[in-house]
Amino acid sequence: MTPERPAGEDAFPRSVESQELNANPDTVEPALTPSQNPEGLYAALDLGTNSCRMLIARPQGSQFRVIDSFSKTVQLGVGLEASGRLSRASMGRTVQALRICRKKLDKHGVGRMRLVATEACRRARNARDFIRNVRRETGLQLEIIAPEEEARLAVVSCAPLVSSRTEQLLVVDIGGGSTELVWLDLSEVPGPERARAIMRLHAGFKPDRRFGPAARVVDWISVPLGVATLKDQFTDVEDDAARFALMSWFFEENLADFSPYNADTPREGFQIIGTSGTVTTVAASFLGLRRYDRNKVDGLRMTSDQIDQVIRDYLVLGPEGRRTDPRIGRDRHSLIMSGAAILQALMRVWPTDRLSVADRGLREGLLYAQMCSDGVLKDGPY
């Protein structure tokens, strides 16, 4: 089947971002004046369980243009499941990556930034010591954000991919240490305004009706299982296919507290958007991309049959075949099956046979929230 992209009527701009620990998700930082940010540049850094990623961008109309970026697999959460602590080696790798980020920030003269850490630092007993060491070694102040803010900003980043026909939306962000799910009811929002209504969630999940009907958050959940932590649960299972099946069913069991889990939602008007390295890797494999191309992946719509076929191909390849498959990549091969197990569970549970692929997430949400707070994006109100 030919992959689908959003129809023209659904188009929206395609590119849309201190306190030390546990920031209030509804806190909005004071806006900067142009003189306080002379280069007009914004940065967003996402330090996750597996990767350290950063974007530097400049506002451009109602979207933004990326000036520079950085991505490095640091495996910060290696061993965390067993010890409850960040290891010396993983912290060392991460500090080295953050030094590169600091050089890029200084080189471009970035005036506004948010540098956040997520699940690994939320769970580690020595996270405070690590944050202090990062500040001492790099001059960067990391902020450990709460799961709600992580989920909310991931949703905001995906707004451009929401169809004007979508009335019920599920956004899934599969991370290294956790998976965030947010269910939105858009039925009261006129179709052309649905993406904009989602972007207004940058300040909090509480509906803001000053600008008309608002997106309503039915429920959200942060499951403490991501591609790294789920994989660690089943390292003692040697058979590849059996391990995959166990991971998928175990993840589904952890969705029981999510209120829409058994919702009788009609297929019509329902959309799932998936954002993560897992989802984009599955999409790249489906397209047969030997060299990753964001323009072909972001916004792609895949059927559940297409996703299942990619996963079956992964299982046929086995661990060694996946290790050398250029579509998967060297940084992803050891984690792709745990991510695929999460993805398959999600497609099994909810009433749709299509998934919208998003090559966007927390960094884009952080950038958008900062720019909106400063009032530098056009075509508001947001």
Domain residue ranges in the chain: 8-146, 150-358
Average pLDDT, consecutive stretches of 10 residues, N- to C-terminus, the chain (382 residues): 35 28 40 58 95 94 90 91 93 97 96 94 95 96 94 91 91 92 92 86 78 85 92 91 95 86 68 93 94 92 95 95 89 91 90 89 92 78 55
**Residue 126, Cβ density class (10 Å: 0-12 exposed, 13-18 middle, ≥19 buried):** middle
Distance, in Å, from the CA atom of 355 to the CA atom of 120, rounded to the nearest integer, reads 27
Residue 69: name the closest of 297, 280, 364, 374 by CA: 364
pLDDT for position 263: 63
pLDDT for position 345: 92
CATH topology of domain 8-146: Nucleotidyltransferase; domain 5 (3.30.420)
pLDDT for position 6: 36
pLDDT for position 136: 96
pLDDT for position 193: 86
Choices 3.30.420.150, 3.30.300.30, 3.40.50.620, 3.10.20.30: CATH for 150-358: 3.30.420.150
pLDDT for position 82: 86
Task: Tell me the torsion sign for CA atoms 350, 355, 356, 362.
Answer: positive
Distance, in Å, from the CA atom of 86 to the CA atom of 130, rounded to the nearest integer, reads 8
Is residue 180 helix, strand or coil? strand
Q: Which helix H or strand E contains 336, and what residues bound it?
A: helix 336-349
pLDDT for position 23: 37
Distance, in Å, from the CA atom of 63 to the CA atom of 84, rounded to the nearest integer, reads 40
